[in-house]
Amino acid sequence: MLRKESSNVATLDEHGQPVALSFADRLGGQQWFFAFKLLREWIDNILDIYKPELRRLLWPLFVYCYLQCAADAYSRDARDFFSTYSKFFEEEHSDDLRALSGIDLPEHVQENEVATIYRENRYRLTLSKMAFATLIEFLETKESEGGKQITFLITNHLLLRTVDRAALGGARSLQRLMEEKQGEEQAPAEDEGIPGHHPGSANLDPNATSALNRLALGPLPMEPDLMEDVKAELTTEDLLHPPPPGRSSLSEQFEQRIKTEPLDDTAPPRDAIPFPASTARDVAMEVQKVRENRDRFRIEGKTGGVGPGVSVTMFTFHNTFDSVNCIEFSGDNTLVAVGTAESYIRVWSLEDRALTSPQDPPGFQPSASRRLIGHSGPVYALSFSPSAALPEPRTNGHIHTTTSPDSQPRYMLSSSADTTIRLWSLDTWSNIVVYRSHNAPVWDVRFCPHGHYFVSASADRTARLWSTPQIAPLRLFVGHDSDVETVAWHPNGAYVFTGAGVGDRTVRMWDLVKGTQVRIFTGHAGNVTAIACAPNGHIVASADDKGTIILWHLRSGRLIKRMRGHGAGGIWSLDWSVESTVLVSGGADQSVRIWDVQPQKETYAKTNGDVTKIDGATVGGGNTSVSKPSGGGGGKLKGREQATPDMISDFKTKKSPVYKVKFTQMNLVMASGAYLP
Amino acid sequence: MSVWNPENVIDVAESVGIASLNKDVVEHLARDVEYRMSQVLNEALKFMRHAKRTTLTTQDVSQALRLLDVEPLYGYESTRPLRFGEASIGPGQPLFYVEDEEVDFEKLINAPLPRVPREMSFTAHWLAVEGVQPSIPQNPLTDPRSAELAAKGSGANSTLAAISGNDNVSVKPLVKHVLSKELQLYFERICSAVLDEGNDEYRSAAFVSLRTDTGLHQLVPYFVQFAADKVTHNLKSIFVLSQTMQLLDALLDNKSLYLAPYVPGIIPSVLTCLIGKHLGSPAQDGATTHFALRDYAASLLSKIARQYASSSSTLKPRIARSCLKSFLDSHKPYGTHYGAILGLTMIAGAEGVRALILPNLKAYDMHLLEGMNDDSKKEQAEYVVQALMRALEMLEEDVVAMEGLTQTNGHPEGEALSERLVDAVGGVLAPRILASGRQSFISAALEKDLDV
């Protein structure tokens, strides 16, 4: 009450006598309100060339004003401030707003997760020199009307970096600005935000050069013994079944695959990641992979505006009562597994074959489905151990009978809200190992593409690397500021990717051997819900629950493009075609969409330029260009629902959110979801 | 000023034995409670998201509480949304509680076990084949609006729309199709003209228009609907019924209309006029006027059958079946039988008479005799007899046409013949057939015997 009165008195004073009290004393908690209002109005009226970059200032300042206000125990003013200005950030920052919304006591500021992330880190933002100078000038002239407050926040909580407008190049050109103005595109730049890193780089030291760690993105070399065995096997296979005319023989195919390693790809050393010695099963799987690779349906990228015709089989689950949390197909496409909210896992044979076990009591009639019971909380992720598809009957009259049970997956992993990960044997349909180490629900688990290792992601903000024979994790990947929501492997097994939720929203790439971060990708506006790395090892795709898919170039650590079209609600799954030219996504908006990966021409050229620079590995501070998102290349984006032009197809399902999409080795898409009438 | 009511804090404090709380403390605590609740909800949303659901369940909340190291609330686990009841414990003090259904223990024990929920299962189908979404029941209908959107999204690239399958899928409009004002006006005028009892010219002008005008195709479903409506609601008025029949006749005559898809909609109205139990009101129109209507309906039916039998192979059998059913039902009035016989004759021809009517004549004779002896029904029965005679005559023509001059000299004469005839067609028809004196007619009626 007193405060209110005093503020009334103060405003009266403004009309008549000179103001005796300072701005801060006069207004108390409202000083932040007026300071922010001042800045906002100024930015709204500023020249168009500065507007987009200065507008990015508003969100961090909004958060810091609000938190400062609440921390100073002006809870009513904090609430007023929040309710007045939060609506302007609703679209881009809805999750953060929700997390911050309850705060109005100093204790809450101390305790709230998102608030601590903001208070303990500096929000990094890049401005051009001119914009920065104008801002400072303005704040100085208005020092007594709130400029001081803003300057205080900027010096204490923000990390403003200035760069020459010229250095920004095309990204800040007038034309680009005009395009953006039309599209009203609001997306964080690549180096904006909490982690405070150079684009792509994982080096968090603000003074670090933007040189990036070198990556070994080549495929993992084969064990020499295994390679010999596979070669011998392929030669006999060629003799038995000579290739149909027009097709190369299997051994030729294999040789070609080994030799066509691009020169700039260093392969990770074989001995850095130990694997158990290969077995006959590995040989059979390699042979099968080569065969499938030759016989696959080839998908070329979009050429001349015509995209590839992709076929999609949809597996719809009925009578689920919304209890299905995740769906997973096995690598050989014979099994499908479902993790449920009722803590059990159910496995079906896709071929309607009875799932037998040596432990079945005599007289037991095995059916085509099995229940795996063991978890004590909802099951959130499943992962089959690697396996290759069974040979399919050929068209030339042969009927293959080499359906060796060998190629079927032997193990499955599951992760659950009960903080455990369990390993199940698919021979006996029983639980073999329980991995305990996480102390919060485990959101995701994924087998290494070569088996043996797996990585898990948890709500305790860590991702952990395990090997199947050991019950303690081998590596802890620590660095995310919020829940690690999803994980993915690099195809060579030397790196893993993790994506985080509210407050952090970064995608990070970790070196498996060293356990360190090698890349950080920022740019998502929502929780990261799915990640998939291209089979060629150079591009990673990540999706968020705002309906955006972003492609990242690994070597340069830069954003390639944003792809929009999915509705809000989460893109649950992503996968790449064998050629790495086409991406498929499926999500809560009940659709399966096919995307063209080829970047637009100009962006592609630029990325290439970056590649050569990084390879020099001696790039100085010059490489600081902020590439603005180029996905909206058409520049005609009006709403989120509008798809970017690189969407090739959009297949709607009938009231079935899509939980899983997968490209088989033969380039057929398998999709799955639950029918929810 | 928290959303959470500070009174609640006082209530809880009192329940743990703290009698008086400072007002500031209460405010502070209320705010804190509110913050904690939003914290719990934020965590619960995480669980909801990972379960890929769009509804928050009580399970999510208890998981969130567990994650925040708080003892979860027990007893609220439910797979369906909870219902909250409201009770007032004082002015402006509503108390909310979970509504528990009261269950009679006895009843619960004796009740049959609830049905086991259906097992989870999966089905597979093609969502897309080579980039095109097949239009099968498992796939949703393409919404024209989304197609529009996709086309815009792909910008100038029209091929994109083509390969995404938007062009191949037949689009069913979800909205009712819009009639132009002129057509609506025309429809109204025609409808009122057709039912205008006073103005003959007006009426015939309407029919002529219907018979000849082109461009009425959009109105056909409306006319069919109109006819069905009028027939259902005006069974008492011979005038309306016959006008409706004429309207349908006019439509059928119009060369520019393609009516095949509407035939299933027209047939019921016509059949009603043919074999309806009570058509018109005897007091107003006289007891026998409805026979004229039935005649008209029968001819209309035969016309439809002729024109559209080729487009629907089951059309004739279906009509014949319904006619036969009414014919064999002796509880139906003579009017219905009359219509049924007419219908059968028209639809199925001589072949039908031979196969469907002739074998049943003997049985029908009893019913007919009953009618002939009853004065009130005699007139009606007479109509039926005539219809039957006509049917038999048709048979005669058929036999003559088919077999030429079959020698029938094997037939016995006189008494024996009449006995046999009575045996074949019944006591009412036999004398009449004999009276006609035509040898071929008699033998046609006796054909059954010949075949044996």
The position carrying tokens 């340069």 is: A556
Would an 8 Å CB–CB cutoff place A363 in contact with chain B?
A: no
* Option in A102, A325, A570 nearest B39 (CB): A102
**Mutate: best of A314, A335, A414, A658, partner B, most B CBs <10 A:** A314
Residues 365-384 of A with CB under 8 A from B: 377-378, 380
* Option in B50, B52, B163 nearest A306 (CB): B163
CA B220 to chain A, closest CA, distance in angstroms equals 33
Residues 77-116 of A with CB under 8 A from B: 79, 98-99, 101-105, 107-108, 112
CA B105 to chain A, closest CA, distance in angstroms equals 29
State the greatest distance between any 2 C-alpha atoms of chain A, in Å, as a whole number. 103
Alpha-helical regions (H) of B154-308: 158-163, 181-194, 200-212, 220-233, 238-253, 263-275, 282-285, 289-308
The answer to which of A99-108, A184-193, B25-34 has the lowest mean pLDDT is A184-193
Say which amino acid occupies A450: H
d(CA A283, CA A80): 67
Q: Are B142 and A658 in contact (CB under 8 A)?
A: no
Q: Is B179 exposed, middle or buried (0-12, 13-18, 19+ CB in 10 A)?
A: middle
**Mutate: best of B120, B123, B146, partner A, most A CBs <10 A:** B120
Residues 415-454 of A with CB under 8 A from B: 417, 440-441, 443
Q: Are A379 and A339 in contact (CB under 8 A)?
A: yes
Coil vs helix vs strand at A431: strand
Strands A495-500 and A507-511: antiparallel
- The reply to whether residue A648 touches residue B67, judged by beta carbons under 8 angstroms, is no
* Option in A324, A649, A659 nearest B128 (CB): A649
Go through the domains of chain A in sequence order and give each one's CATH number.
2-186 (1.25.40.500), 224-295 (no CATH), 312-358+365-389+409-620+627-674 (2.130.10.10)
**Which chain B residues touch A573 with a CB distance below 8 Å?**
none
* A612 pLDDT above the threshold of 50: no
* Option in B53, B120, B140 nearest A317 (CB): B120
Mention the CATH class of domain B6-98.
Answer: mainly alpha
Say which amino acid occupies A22: S
> What are the structure tokens assigned to B122, written together?
């999966």
At residue B270, the pLDDT reads: 86
More confident call, A192 vs A32: A32
> What are the structure tokens assigned to A526, written together?
């929502």
Q: Is A530 exposed, middle or buried (0-12, 13-18, 19+ CB in 10 A)?
A: buried
- The reply to whether residue B120 touches residue A501, judged by beta carbons under 8 angstroms, is no
Would an 8 Å CB–CB cutoff place A259 in contact with chain B?
A: no
- The reply to whether residue A649 touches residue B59, judged by beta carbons under 8 angstroms, is no
State the virtual CA torsion across B311, B313, B319, B325 in degrees, nearest 10. -170
Write down the CATH number for the domain with range B181-399: 1.25.40.770
**Mutate: best of A79, A96, A104, partner B, most B CBs <10 A:** A104
At residue B394, the pLDDT reads: 77
- The reply to whether residue A313 touches residue B126, judged by beta carbons under 8 angstroms, is yes
Would an 8 Å CB–CB cutoff place A75 in contact with chain B?
A: yes
> What are the structure tokens assigned to A175, written together?
């034309």
* A541 pLDDT above the threshold of 50: yes
At residue A534, the pLDDT reads: 92
Segment A621-643, tens digit of pLDDT: 333 333 333 333 333 333 445 67
Segment A346-359, tens digit of pLDDT: 999 988 888 888 88
User: Which region holds residue A512: left if phi is over 0, alpha if psi is between -120 and 50, else beta?
Assistant: alpha
Q: How far apart are the first and last CA of chain A?
A: 55
CA B64 to chain A, closest CA, distance in angstroms equals 10
Domain boundary assignment for chain B:
6-98, 141-175, 181-399
Length of chain B in terms of residues written: 452
- The reply to whether residue A314 touches residue B125, judged by beta carbons under 8 angstroms, is yes
* Option in B35, B51, B117 nearest A103 (CB): B35
CA A369 to chain B, closest CA, distance in angstroms equals 10
Would an 8 Å CB–CB cutoff place A622 in contact with chain B?
A: no
> What are the structure tokens assigned to A628, written together?
């603005």
> What are the structure tokens assigned to A132, written together?
């920065």
Per-residue pLDDT of chain B (452 residues; tens, 9 = 90+): 567 778 888 888 888 888 888 888 888 888 888 888 888 999 999 999 999 988 888 889 999 999 998 888 887 776 666 677 777 777 666 777 777 778 888 888 888 888 888 888 899 999 888 888 888 888 887 654 444 444 333 333 434 434 444 444 334 444 456 778 888 888 888 888 888 877 788 888 888 888 888 878 788 888 888 888 888 888 888 888 888 888 888 888 888 888 888 888 888 888 888 888 777 777 676 767 778 888 888 888 888 888 887 777 778 888 888 888 888 887 788 888 888 888 888 887 777 777 777 777 777 887 777 777 777 777 778 888 888 888 877 777 776 666 544 444 455 566 677 777 777 777 777 777 777 767 777 777 766 544 43
CA B354 to chain A, closest CA, distance in angstroms equals 54
**Mutate: best of A95, A298, A312, partner B, most B CBs <10 A:** A312
